[in-house]
């Protein structure tokens, strides 16, 4: 599909990527300011590397002898800003560069919820409506490669989740190579065949989405994504029990849920530790885990635990560690309020 290696420098910023070949759907993940957007702009031809090669299948987009301009590359690019023509209607914005069939366009318009917006001027749209239109316009150009830079940021989570499912289905059906930048790790795990982790501008790793994101977030003390299965346990309306290994997780969940493996994110800072199971407790989630290590950093203790093979660090106060006296190898219970857990995929 899309393969490249490149070196790029602008003022004090430098980006180096060794030879890399991407699958059909790739997530791009890493800290803010690391160069994720710059990478997409380089691949799209909006900026040019000093050295390297960019190829789509056998078509060379950039090397030492040639460089295709952005408009010559079979791409579409959707960012946080919709960049619609404000004086034109939604219909005219979409049809300006339409290459898909009328039936495909009708499907996109209906599926992305823009049918009732077609006669509105783009300047009349809300941020979320404009992003929906921008996505339809991009897909209507029949691209071979689609770049998505926080393209769902103006949408609420329910709408973003629904559109991401529709988009993924379309991309796979039409074999459109895509790169998605998102701050939401669940979006990336659901969407991607693999993720390109950018820990710094010199270190890029392509690998399993769930493993790499949790590896990075575990070190950065951010949200951990759990791959869970549906359970037959009964729950109240709007809630669902899931199974992680031999343990159960209660989370808010949509009424309709696809079959297969699902995702739930947990924030280590929302976890309370206990040396025993607590009866008559409001925390409906109590999971047994193993203590891997206990370390102190800048006045906070970080207890690294393994929950069904997933490792992450739970922050606790010095007083809490003094009370619990946790040691490596001990069994511990992790307590997490169900209202803080949301299943989206």
Interval 193-250: pLDDT, tens: 999 999 876 778 999 999 999 988 888 778 999 999 999 999 999 999 999 999 999 9
**What pLDDT, on a 0 to 100 scale, did the predictor assign at position 241?**
95
Residue 39: closest CA among 10, 80, 12:
10
Interval 262-305: pLDDT, tens: 999 999 999 999 999 999 999 999 999 999 999 999 999 999 99
**What pLDDT, on a 0 to 100 scale, did the predictor assign at position 222?**
86
User: What does the alpha-carbon distance between residue 204 and residue 6 come to, in Å, rounded to a whole number?
Assistant: 12
pLDDT of 131 above 90: yes
pLDDT of 70 above 90: yes
Question: What does the domain layout of the chain look like in residue ranges?
Answer: 2-216, 224-344
**What pLDDT, on a 0 to 100 scale, did the predictor assign at position 220?**
77
Query: For residue 26, what are the CA distances in angstroms to 125, 216, 256?
Result: 30, 17, 26
Residues constituting the chain: 345
Percent of the chain scored above 90 by pLDDT? 85
Beta bridge partners of residue 228, listed in sequence order? 262
Superfamily of domain 2-216: P-loop containing nucleotide triphosphate hydrolases (3.40.50.300)
Top pLDDT among 110 and 157 is at 110
**Span 312-323, mean pLDDT?**
95
**Span 35-63, mean pLDDT?**
96
pLDDT of 261 above 90: no
pLDDT of 147 above 90: yes
Tokens of 264: 């739930």
CATH 2.40.50.100 assigned to domain 224-344? The reply is yes
User: What does the alpha-carbon distance between residue 313 and residue 316 come to, in Å, rounded to a whole number?
Assistant: 10
pLDDT of 259 above 80: no
**What pLDDT, on a 0 to 100 scale, did the predictor assign at position 345?**
85
Tell whether the torsion through CA atoms of 296, 302, 308 and 310 is positive or negative: negative
pLDDT of 159 above 80: yes
**What pLDDT, on a 0 to 100 scale, did the predictor assign at position 219?**
80
Q: Half-sphere exposure of 65 toward its Cβ, with a 13 Å CA cutoff?
A: 1
User: What does the alpha-carbon distance between residue 164 and residue 178 come to, in Å, rounded to a whole number?
Assistant: 12
Tokens of 293: 């290590």
Tokens 């160069």 — which residue? 35
């Amino acid at each position: 599909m899309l393969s490249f290696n490149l070196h790029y420098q602008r003022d004090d910023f430098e980006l180096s990527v060794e030879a890399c070949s991407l699958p059909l759907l790739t997530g791009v993940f890493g800290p803010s300011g690391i160069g994720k957007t710059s990478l997409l702009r380089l691949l799209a031809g909006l900026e040019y590397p000093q050295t390297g090669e960019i190829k789509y299948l056998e078509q060379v987009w950039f090397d030492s002898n040639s460089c295709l301009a952005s408009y010559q590359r079979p791409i579409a690019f959707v960012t946080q800003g919709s960049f619609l023509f404000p004086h034109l209607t939604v219909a005219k914005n979409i049809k300006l560069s339409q290459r898909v069939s009328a039936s495909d366009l009708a499907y996109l318009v209906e599926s992305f919820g823009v049918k009732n917006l077609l006669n509105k001027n783009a300047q009349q749209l809300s941020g979320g409506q404009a992003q929906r239109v921008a996505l339809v316009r991009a897909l209507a150009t029949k691209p071979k490669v689609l770049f998505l830079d926080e393209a769902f940021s103006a949408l609420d989570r329910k709408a973003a989740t629904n559109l991401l499912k529709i988009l993924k289905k379309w991309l796979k059906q039409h074999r459109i190579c895509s790169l998605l930048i998102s701050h939401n790790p669940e979006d990336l795990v659901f969407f991607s065949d693999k993720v390109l982790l950018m820990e710094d501008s010199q270190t890029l790793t392509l690998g399993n989405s769930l493993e790499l994101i949790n590896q990075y977030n575990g070190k950065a003390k951010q949200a951990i994504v759990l791959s869970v299965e549906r359970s037959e346990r009964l729950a109240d309306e709007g809630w669902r029990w899931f199974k992680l290994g031999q343990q159960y997780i209660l989370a808010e969940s949509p009424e309709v849920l696809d079959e297969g493996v699902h995702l739930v994110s947990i924030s280590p800072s929302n976890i309370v530790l206990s040396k025993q199971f607590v009866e008559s407790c409001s925390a409906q989630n109590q999971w047994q885990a193993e203590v891997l290590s206990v370390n102190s950093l800048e006045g906070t203790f970080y207890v690294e635990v393994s929950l069904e093979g997933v490792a992450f660090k739970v922050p606790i106060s010095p007083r809490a560690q003094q009370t619990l006296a946790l040691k490596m190898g001990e069994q511990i219970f992790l307590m997490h309020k169900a209202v803080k857990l949301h299943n989206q995929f």
